[in-house]
A and B are shown apart, each in its own frame.
Chain A
Amino acid sequence: MAARARAGSRRGRRFRRIAGEAAQYAALTIAAIVILTPIYITVAYSLQPVEEILTYPPNLIVTDPQWDTYKRAFETGSLGRYLVNSIIVSSAITAGQVATSVLAAYAFAFLRFRGRNFLFIVFLSTLMVPWEVTVIPNYQTVSAFGWLDSYQGLIVPFLATAFGTFLLRQAFMTVPRDLRDAAAIDGYGHFGFMLQVVVPLSRAAIGALAVFSFLMAWNQYLWPLLITNDDNYRTVQIGLKSLVSSRIDEFNLIMAGTVIAAAPILALLVLFQKQLIRGLTSGAIKG
């Protein structure tokens, strides 16, 4: 009697667990579909001929992929140019931010000097000034330098970052004190120690910063909009907008442009997921 009751409840438990898991998988799948829908539609439309897109009811299955839409996007839509500009600008900003952050973080982590705390607060305060607030004078400054429609104008204002400095400072502070002494005895001054010991040991944090910086730089919108009018200097984000206004009805072309604009970063996300997550969450955990 008791044995059968036990067996029944065990089966019941197992059934409940499977049902629970099935429900979870169902919820996960629905959520995934909802989230992916815009992306899927974009890709699908990019491969359909325009007429198909305009039919009603909307046709979401790609039966006859038009690969040359992409070719056209590059040729007539200037997307190649935009892509190159984005790559140049984002890479330069990333390199610059990593460099200035490494130097500044080293100073905060390893040097003792009067005014260190004050300067730390100064760095901190830059995080509270939204870019949109300073955009007009910055435009005037950049214009005065003659940097409108130029790479410098897109790159230089963003070469320093307090966020990056703090991220790396935290990583640098985990380098054991003894290593600094050992390197000093071994004949290494600050720069030697920084390059040969601190930077290699902080590879993870630097990687996170690099991925994060690249992402932020790639996705910039307001600033490139303001200071570039020349197609030769437009980044892919602004290029996309100009594509929307100039080729209004060519949905497939616009979607292809969107895919081209999004693809590099999506690839980055897949390849460098860990670094990206680390960069994004460094402010969240433990405040």
Chain B
Amino acid sequence: MVSNAAAALIASRRRARAGLREAAYALALLGPSIALFATFVFFPLGRTFYLGFFRSDPFGLHSTYVGFDQYLDLLRSAKFHRSLTTTGLFALYTVPTGLALGLGLALLAHQKLRGMVVFRTIFSSTVATSVAVASVMWLTLLNPSIGVINYGLKESGIEPVNWLNDPTWALPAVSLTTIWLNLGFTFIVVLAGLQTIPEELHESAQIDGAGSISRFFNVTLPMLSPTLLFAVVVLTINAFQSFGQIDILTQGGPLDRTNVIVYSIYTEGFRNFNDGIAAGQGVVLFLIVLVLTLIQFRFLEKRVFYGS
């Protein structure tokens, strides 16, 4: 018979071999994803940082290493500041309004009335429209001469606006399009959140004498907070990543009033062949999104009420 020590050694070698087998399987299964991530997420992320260190010449042919200088110039550039404020403003216009409207629709549609399925389908419908589709739809609506919005304004006695060409109104117009575009998503998410609130909580609040408004603030809102947090995070990050509607509606203008950060990256990178600056802006965008996510989770998590 084999001695105890030898037997233990053989057993541990067997275990090691089995462990290796599992690891090999894991590699085969995860390999494709990892290879794709390495090529299209991690490598480009690093390269974006790297490109930010090189300043391209005006013809986009050569670049020279300038270290952090380009980053510093960027952070000091008024144009970039404008781009950041525009994007921030855009988020401010679209997120709270969109969330409030989505919440309102979800509350309306959460009733047990006949025909609710139809309304729910209608309210979710914009989730199926792409950025391009929504933008083209609103391009027509916002058209200064034939658009219905200006028609409605004129009939109400209000001075019509040349929406997409007016420096004051271009960003609000694009924001309106974006709110409409995201309404379906917000509605679906908030409605799903409403549906997870146990009926008993409302009932016990009713028995305790709470009216609808009190119930909303004391039962619905707290229970809905994880869902709302999720929606706010997604909508905000989405706002910072917006591109398509700008490209179709205003192309960054007029007077750079809708030149959000991604559009700026696009123009610098693919029109002006200024890879360095575009990359630098990309890095800033990355950091902003990262910080946003962290802040929102930290800050809002305190207000969020998890659990029963």
Which of A's residues lie within 8 Å of B, judged by CB? 21, 24-25, 27-28, 31-32, 35-39, 41-42, 45, 53-54, 56-58, 60, 100-101, 103-104, 106-107, 111-114, 116, 119, 122-123, 126, 128-141, 156-157, 159-160, 162, 165, 190, 215, 218-219, 221-222, 225-226, 237-238, 240-241, 244, 251, 254-255, 257-258, 261-262, 265-266, 268-270, 273, 276-277, 280-281, 283-287
Contact = CB atoms under 8 A, between A and B. Distances in A.
**Majority SS of interface residues in chain A?**
helix
A124 to B, nearest CB: 11
B23 A113 contact: yes
B104 to A, nearest CB: 8
Contacts of B89: none
Given A130-B237, A134-B282, 20 more contacts: A28-B109, A32-B123, A37-B148, A41-B141, A100-B32, A103-B28, A104-B32, A130-B285, A133-B289, A134-B45, A136-B269, A139-B269, A221-B243, A240-B133, A262-B129, A266-B129, A269-B128, A277-B124, A280-B127, A285-B227
A54 B143 CA distance: 11
Contact of B119 (A32, A106, A129, A219): A32
Nearest to B134: A38
Contacts of A240: 132-133, 136
14 contacts: A37-B148, A113-B26, A114-B23, A130-B241, A133-B286, A137-B279, A190-B25, A219-B132, A222-B244, A241-B247, A269-B127, A283-B230, A285-B193, A287-B226
B37 A123 contact: yes
Interface stretch (B4-12, B70-78, B166-174, B183-191): B183-191
B130 A219 contact: yes
B270 interface: yes
Contacts of A41: 137, 140-141, 148
A132 B108 contact: no
A284 B227 contact: yes
Contacts of A35: 122-123, 125-126, 180, 183
Interface string B101-116: 0001100110101000
A134 B48 contact: yes
Contact of B30 (A31, A104, A138): A104
Interface of B: 19, 22-23, 25-26, 28-30, 32-34, 36-37, 39-45, 47-48, 51, 104-105, 108-109, 111, 113, 119, 121-134, 136-141, 145-148, 151, 180, 183, 185, 188-189, 192-193, 196, 226-227, 230-231, 234, 237, 240-241, 243-244, 247-248, 262, 265-266, 269-270, 275, 278-279, 282-283, 285-286, 289-290, 293, 306
Contact of B125 (A39, A103, A126): A39
Nearest to A30: B108
Contacts of B134: 38
Given A35-B183, A129-B286, A160-B32, A285 B121 contact: no
A127 B16 CA distance: 34
Given A103-B32, A277-B192, A24 B111 contact: yes
Contacts of B147: 58
A129 B45 contact: yes
- 7 tightest Cβ-Cβ pairs between the two chains A and B: A219-B130, A134-B44, A137-B44, A160-B36, A221-B244, A137-B47, A107-B29
Contacts of B111: 24
Contacts of A56: 145-146, 151
B303 to A, nearest CB: 14
Given A134-B45, A135-B265, A262 B130 contact: yes
A254 B141 CA distance: 13
Contact of B137 (A114, A129, A258): A258
A134 B290 CA distance: 14
Nearest to B111: A24
A101 B29 CA distance: 9
B293 A128 contact: yes
B66 to A, nearest CB: 17
Given A41-B141, A107-B30, A254-B136, A265 B289 contact: no
B36 A27 contact: no
A96 B302 CA distance: 39
A219 B182 CA distance: 13
Contacts of B108: 24, 27-28, 31
B140 A132 contact: no
A113 B248 CA distance: 49
Contacts of B139: 244
A51 B119 CA distance: 34
A137 B180 contact: no
Given A35-B122, A58-B151, A284-B231, A265 B26 contact: no
